[in-house]
Amino acid sequence: MVFENSRALIVEGGAMRGIFASGVLDAFMTTDFRPYDFAMGVSAGASNLLGYLSHQPKRSYNVITELATSNRFFNPRRFLKGGDLVDVNWLWKESNRRYPIDKRTLFSSIPIWATVTNVSNGHADYYRITESNIKDAMVASAALPIAVKTPPCFSGGCYTDGGVADSIPVKEAYRRGARDITVILSHPLSYHMNPTKHPWLMRKLLSRYPGVTEAMLHRAENYNASLEFIRNPPADSVVKVIAPPENFPVKRLTMKPETIEEGYLMGVEAGHSHIANLMGRHGLTEENCHFCI
């Protein structure tokens, strides 16, 4: 599906770092700020988009702070005994039991795509979220390789976390016709992903899935290429970035409540600042504020 000269919202994943995007999108909801034609999310980013597009403030915050921090979801002891490090199926079911998605609002909003990685070839696939595939696509998008022993399968394929193949699908949004792209990142703008230090270990751990292995080995290269696209977009497009500050304290596996709360409030502040920048309240315009943080 192509949206010519459209506006897209892209939300990166990043496990617990997703609390920043949660704050940004909650800030957007306070003023019903939704100037986009379509959205694309990856892993935790896709989950954050569900709360935003169903207009359910604090839903993503609650899922992260109450459920993603639970040892029912993240359990190293279970992993050492041969189970999954993270139970994405439990997280999906429990989050929807406690905080049911307002599907009427969600599916009357702009279309949303979840990014997944096809285990057969290591390439990114993009599933438009519908009532029939929402559970499968969301679980697949967050099913981290190695952390989830058996990749979830649906629609004729098996998949792992979308961040393996395309952590920031800005190029895909551009390919689909977006020429005004807003990206919510999980790392500060200065971030640069380094290649894996032990490729031999990656090949050993993922020996059953050579396509995923290759995607993991090239992940840093692809990630940095997306950042380069963001910093130097094509001449016919504008990319706006909302990124955590340099002192953002939340890491991928941060579980400390006060640290997560701090990261959330940074996201809320960044969301409000983004709207203010676009409205010229800080004296900034699209001409002199390319990133509009």
Which residues are known catalytic residues? 43, 161
| Beta-strand relationship, 38-42 and 238-242 | unpaired
Interatomic CA distance for residues 179 and 8, integer angstroms: 8
Interatomic CA distance for residues 41 and 253, integer angstroms: 20
Q: What's the full length of the chain, in residues?
A: 293
Query: Taking a C-beta distance cutoff of 8 angstroms, is the pair 82, 201 a contact?
Result: no
Nearest to 44 by CA among 166, 125, 142, 183: 142
* Strand intervals (E) in 58-97: none
Helix (H, G, I), strand (E, B), or coil: what is residue 97? Answer: helix
Interatomic CA distance for residues 65 and 35, integer angstroms: 28
